[in-house]
Amino acid sequence: MNAHLVAIIGGGISGLSTAYELSRLASREKIPLRITLLEAQDRFGGVIRTFDQERFTAEAAADAFYGGGPWGSEAVEFCGSLGLSEELIEASASFRRFYIFKNKKPVPFPQYGRSF
Ligand SMILES: Cc1cc2nc3c(=O)[nH]c(=O)nc-3n(C[C@H](O)[C@H](O)[C@H](O)COP(=O)(O)OP(=O)(O)OC[C@H]3O[C@@H](n4cnc5c(N)ncnc54)[C@H](O)[C@@H]3O)c2cc1C
């Protein structure tokens, strides 16, 4: 059987996770698939980027995800399937504050469970 051809445009987290999930499903269902991931920049990751500045390690975009509830558990399990469990750092309870910038003011996010 000829392989199905898939083009994914963009190598940010959306494109990378789409490629990962498609490969996983195709492998499970034994569907031949050839995926081409097209990225305009010279690196993958899109807006997500980690860099060192002076004494600090900084994140240019996402540095956290919600680890509680059904979706959060999936995210934690997904990290496990990539062998990243040991690298997750749980947010310190005393610094676990989230705000949404609304009407030019930071508004506290409702409290929820674990976050990484
Ligand atoms: C400051 C900041 C903090 C954030 N914090 C969090 C957080 O704590 N938790 C959280 O869950 N989310 C957070 N987010 C949101 C999260 O980072 C983004 O939603 C997510 O990274 C977007 O990923 P993406 O792949 O959809 O898009 P992008 O990261 O924008 O990736 C798109 C990619 O497509 C490429 N591209 C575009 N057009 C083309 C083309 N025509 N051909 C080829 N390549 C193309 C681009 O070069 C880029 O690499 C934050 C975002 C910001 C900016």
- C-beta 12 within 6 A of ligand 1: yes
Q: Specify the pLDDT at position 7.
A: 98
Strands (E), 1-116: 4-9, 33-38, 50-53, 56-59, 99-102, 105-108
Same domain, 27 and 73: no
CB 13, CB 45: distance < 8 Å: yes
Domain holding 78, by residue range, is: 64-116
User: Is the model's pTM score more than 0.75?
Assistant: yes
Residues 1 and 47 in one domain: yes
Residues 10 and 35 in one domain: yes
Handedness of CA 67, 69, 72, 78 (dihedral sign): positive
- Chain-centre distance for alpha carbon 5: 25
Cβ atoms 89, 50 nearer than 8 A? no
56 with 69, same domain: the answer is: no
Q: Give pLDDT tens digits for 45-86.
A: 999 999 998 998 888 998 888 787 777 788 899 899 999 999
The preferred substitution site among 36, 47, 49 for testing ligand 1, maximizing ligand atoms within 8 Å of CB, is 47
Instruction: Provide the number of structural domains found in the chain.
Output: 2
Q: Is 47 in the pocket of ligand 1 (CB under 6 A)?
A: yes
One domain for residues 27 and 44:
yes
Give the per-residue pLDDT at 116: 60
Mind listing the pLDDT tens digit for each residue in 12-43?
A: 999 999 999 999 999 999 999 999 999 999 99
36 C-beta closer than 6 A to ligand 1:
no
Whole-angstrom distance, CA of residue 103 vs CA of residue 97: 19
